[in-house]
Amino acid sequence: MSLYRTLKEVPTEEYLAQGHRLCAGCPEAICVRLVTKVAGKDTIIVNPTGCLEVSTSLFPETAWKLPWIHVAFENGGAVASGVEAALKSMKRKGIIPKETKTHVIVFAGDGGTTDIGFQALSGMLERGHDVVYVCIDNEAYMNTGIQRSGSTPYMAWATTSPVGKVLKGKMQQKKDMVSIAAAHGIPYTASATVGTGYWLDLMNKVRKAIDVEGPAYIHCLNPCPTGWRFEPNLTVEMGRLAVQTGMWMLYEVVDGKLTVTARVSKRRPVRDYLKQQGRFRHLTDEDIAKIQRHVDESAAEMNKLVGQEVIGPVQES
């Protein structure tokens, strides 16, 4: 397996057509395009309900150039397991050649992954199905009205985690789905983003994920202009800032071994990331300091896990 070194090496084929109804600046189209370029034409897409599903499949049209199935919010992992099992059965029966390699990829939002679809995902991972599960994480139920999910970050505003005199948005930390997936003992788990400078990181992780035998999980941060309240032209910049501030660390776990794939020698303060998003505009300096301390602790824990400093200290801008 060879990895991409430059964007010039990336396949030019497109498997998501123009004309879909995703919002201006939506990162999900970027994520899908990059992932499917790597996977290629011999791929079946399983897509639970969400922004991606409703915006790419308005009857009688579709933006998909690959076999695609829409499934319920809660059963992406279960349906993908069935598709993978059916392909194995067809090979045993001689219906399709045994040497045929068809990738099964799930594209599910954070609601359909961390919350509603978690049980089906966990079952898929535990049973060892040869499926690549990609969580397109925009950190809320954006399709149904920006409700908070298990992936919504601490103190973020959402329509179901309002800001007032008592509460300051969501008062729970973001669920660590990458660690949860890795705890199933699967061969490949990774975090990724569509941020500027990290596209090759995402695509190479997809390359590794489709190459392993068994389940693989990729959790891709997708900054949402509509729900996060920033200008649509800043989508990829927000993904970059998430990494550079340490709010989102890029790493992979291969057969139990953790490696940070994007080192950050000098972090930018989380204020640079938070202040650009309307969902955090209610935060005081004290609130931001609290979030900064949590990120500092997470960075220290990551450095401890890998045995060296890969996420450096904050350098004030």
Which pLDDT value is given to residue 131? 98
At residue 60, the pLDDT reads: 92
Give the pLDDT of residue 216: 98
Task: Identify the sign of the CA torsion 1, 202, 102, 182.
Answer: positive
pLDDT of residue 316: 78
Cα torsion at 75, 119, 101, 187 (round to 10°)? 160
Query: Rounded to 5 degrees, what angle do the CA atoms 158, 58, 199 make?
Result: 60
Domains located in the chain, CATH noted: 7-306 (3.40.50.970)
User: Quick one: which of 275, 192, 203, 288 has its CA closest to 240?
Assistant: 192
| pTM of the predicted structure, to 2 decimals | 0.97
Among 191, 156, 184, residue whose Cα is nearest residue 170 = 156
Give the Cα separation of 165 and 122 in Å (integer).
38
Cα–Cα distance, 305 to 317 (Å, whole number) = 28
Q: What does the pLDDT profile of the chain (317 residues) look like in tens digits?
A: 689 999 899 999 999 999 999 999 999 999 999 999 999 999 999 999 999 999 999 999 999 999 999 999 999 999 999 999 999 999 999 999 999 999 999 999 999 999 999 999 999 999 999 999 999 999 999 999 999 999 999 999 999 999 998 999 999 999 999 999 999 999 999 999 999 999 999 999 999 999 999 999 999 999 999 999 999 999 999 999 999 999 999 999 999 999 999 999 999 999 999 999 999 999 999 999 999 999 999 999 999 999 999 999 999 76
pLDDT for the residue numbered 2: 86
Return the number of other C-beta atoms located less than 10 Å from residue 222's C-beta.
Answer: 28
Closest CA to 262 of 290, 280, 239, 243: 243
Q: Report the candidate in 149, 137, 300 with the shortest Cα–Cα distance to residue 217.
A: 137
Q: Rounded to whole angstroms, what are the CA distances from 308 to 255, 299, 300?
A: 20, 11, 10
* CA atoms of 259 and 98, how far apart (whole Å): 34
What is the Cα–Cα distance from 16 to 28, expressed in whole angstroms? 11
Here the tokens at position 254 are: 């291969």
